Structure 1
Amino acid sequence: MKIRPGSQSTPQPPAVDGLAFILAWSYDRLDQDTVLQKLRSSINKLIESGACERAYFGKSRYRENFNILLAGGSKALVQIGAVDTVRQKGGIRIECNPAKFADGDAQQIHRVMRGLIGRREYNELMRRPLLNVVHFAVDIYHAALTRMLVRYDNAQRMSMMAKRVGKGGFIEGYNFGSVRSDYETTAYNKQQELVHAAILAIAQSSSSGFNDDPLKSNKIKQLKRVLEGPEIVRVEVRGKKMRGLPLWKLPQQTNRFARFHFADLSVAGIDLDPLIEKAFLAMCRQDGVKAALDAFKHTEHARKVHAFWRSHQATWWKPGELWLQACDALRETRMFPPEAFESPDSHAEKQPVKRRRAR
């Protein structure tokens, strides 16, 4: 897809770019020891067969940690056996990146887990998973941070944690939210990340001593496709601490896409004097849009600066639609059965009512 001058910025449907959930598989400490002893033999066989590999942590809240090696090239981390059986909400934690799934990867995870803990028990646990982490990502094609302003509203608390500036002086990305917060949000230059990954792949193949011309040619073609492709800004909402949220409650959570506001400088809007515009844009990128608008509040340019900001509001950013699509994207990963997205009350209402026998 080549860049066309004047192409309108177009957000793509959201993807699930990170996922971790807990299953309420629980035993008291003594029973868990017995169950884990049986499981270890099965886990070791999976590792010996090449289907899985051991995962190592300095300190883990689980007693068994291993990766399922997926056909698409990614991994799914499985952690079994809660160290603290009282405080932890479940004895199984699974972490994966559905955005990297190839066809059949979700089913591969299910096959391994059913083989370990039993089909019936696993299927029942998956009806009520608890969200630990979920990341949603939206790619905006034909967009560049150098041609937009980004504002993120977070009630009384909004912090720009990082602003990465490339050697050429252009903005690569913004991170919003504190390190300790439950959520982190970011907007960054995705095309540059893809270019870096493609160049790294070429460098790694060369350093590994591969002299396979078709392989090198394929990697160079991948780099060329990225360079000739559209400019991309990625917007991510990263739920880092979902605190055991049931899946059916996710649509009811705050839509953090709605806290993003974009001013598209590539479309026509109110004009400012060149010097005022340059000063306003510099302050927006240095201190944030809210701080820049506040700085102009009591000056003779206040009205025009606010009109400039409002006149460039991106009409292509529709956060309400994106949030609904993001929740649907989680369904489409095929990690969870339909029942996992239904409240227990609605599920109970669907159960047939048993008639009493006439006496």
Structure 2
Amino acid sequence: MDLLAFLNPNELSLGMSKLAMYPLFDTAHYIVSLMALKEQPGAVAFAQRSPFACWFSSMLFCFGGAILSNLLLAEPAVAPLSNDANVLLASLIWYLVFYCPQDLVYRSAALLPIRLVLSGMKEVTRTWKVLGGVAQAQKHYKDGILVMIAVGWSKGAGGGLISNFEQLVRGIWKPETNELLNMSYPTKVTLLGAVMFSLQECRYLPLQKHHLMFIYTVFLVVNKTRMMLSGSHSWLFSPVEGAVHRALFAGESTDPTPKAKAPGRTSSADTCAAPELDGKAASENQNGSAASESDGEPSAKSGTRDQTPGCVGGSKKTD
């Protein structure tokens, strides 16, 4: 109780909700995002070959969420780039990450203690982005919970959701890497946050906004730190996700595509096999003996098929 009284969770969460993202937290977001871009295969060579295309791709990494959320709400997609201070800051960091002499900026930021701090600060900005997307959607569609979830999700994880377009800028086209086909941890956890903040805005979740912001931010930072220290890419709700998938979506396959015929079977061979099987079955019935399924198949070495009258192509040998 003394610890809770000292920390005063209500005042702590209220104070955290008033944090300004610019410039420190935005700087951490840009650094971590551009480091992730630089670590992709071929990104360094691409930056040396096409600096302008690399800059444009980097801006998509940094402002992809805001651009995608504006597109969903039919607002100007270039509006996020109208903030000159943010664009200049992101451009400066892009130059230092990709072109700094001796690669000093990237190597310094890649040190584990520094990267832990930067990644934690980036996760803090994720909360503000998701909440901003939900509030932005509510202005246009009051109580439209699905729209609020979609816009909050896109604003918080837009860089991943438009990754195919960003790759296309770099001359790479891999539609199988679509984020919706195999969602990564940031996309999943952002969707979770968008659902919770949308429910809170619509009064379905009995929590004050600053309390929810505090809980969600702590969860993001702690889980991201755990993943980086342990080298794991799984998240806490993986067992629940797997159980729900098995229960609701992993039923028996009902693929209507007809199965392919066994190799070596041709239409002529199937046509010829019918009278042979019927003749042998009649003979076995007369003798009162039961044959196994494998014995009922005529031998390929015998000349029975070649001698079957009225069989077109009956002499064709099957494997």
Q: TM-score range by the shorter chain?
A: under 0.3
Alignment TM-score, normalising by the size of structure 2: 0.25
Larger RCO (CA under 8 A, 6+ residues apart): 1
The structure whose Rg is larger is 2
Higher normalized helix content (fraction of residues): 2
Alignment TM-score, normalising by the size of structure 1: 0.23
